[in-house]
Amino acid sequence: MYQDLNGKVAVITGGSKGIGTAISERLGKEKMKVVVNYHSDEAGANQAVEAVKAAGGDGIAVQANVGSEEGVQKLVDVALSEYGTLDLWINNAGMENQCETHKLPLEDWERVINVNLTGVFLGTKAALSYFVENNKKGNIINISSVHEQIPWPTFAHYSASKGGVKLLTETVAMEYANRNIRVNNIGPGAIKTPINAEKFADPEQLQTTKETIPMQRIGNPEEVAAAAAWLASDEASYVTGITLFVDGGMTLYPAFQGGKG
């Protein structure tokens, strides 16, 4: 637990499932007040808010499209009207679909880039504006992926969006470092979430995925949430512009395990 987070106010995008819900709940345990954004899964967002409250924090579910300026502004407005301030912004909303690149419809490309990259830009911009205009210490965490570093065939749009998030994070971290604003990335690997439910339900695909993970197991959303809580806290006060991979070693070139090569 991080004492300094007690009573602070967070916005998290895409909080209605998976990693977003786990982070919300963890922030609840830290006694934070959490604006839990969702796009279409209202029931999931309400459950996340219940989990935040049960854990000891406060929360509210808010529908918004993070790929639009009005959407992210609504999240800032709710944080201010409900809780009076904003301390932490977590860009978590993301989506993926598989398709060979020569067949990838432009609409799929645009949809994924809009949520995963433009959404991170817009959320970052909205949070920065509030922090700068109010001369306030601020913290931004982006949920990226191991695929900001590892190329992922048949997921060109997803990989491109995450590569973009990496350099966006580094650039903004540098730009605002002297204003008491920290900006970091978390790069989850294969995590047990709804986005992966189908894939990991198939024993063969599960085995194939495990072979890419030196620790040979799928991660839990709570393990990503623990990294988010640390980055959010003052324990990470000298950390900005990094990607903290939470991936069981997936980014370590597992094909070379055992001295192969």
Binding residues (CB under 6 A) for ligand BGC: these are: 96, 145-147, 189-190, 195-196
List, in sequence order, the alpha helices (H) in the chain: 18-29, 42-55, 69-83, 106-113, 119-133, 156-176, 197-201, 203-210, 221-232
- Per this entry, what is the length of the chain? 261
Q: Which is nearer to ligand BGC, 19 or 86 (CB)?
A: 19
Q: Which is nearer to ligand BGC, 49 or 218 (CB)?
A: 218
Dist CA 29 CA 41 (whole Å): 23
Q: Which is nearer to ligand BGC, 132 or 167 (CB)?
A: 167
Cβ atoms of residues 152 and 158 within 8 Å: yes
Burial label, 23 (beta-carbon count in 10 A; 0-12, 13-18, 19+) = buried
Core vs surface per residue 141-155: b (16+ CB within 10 A) or e: bbbbbbbbbbeeeeb
From the CB of 191, what's the least distance to ligand BGC, in Å?
A: 7
Q: Which is nearer to ligand BGC, 138 or 221 (CB)?
A: 221
Residues annotated as part of the active site: 158
φ, ψ for residue 195 (rounded to 5)?
-60, -30
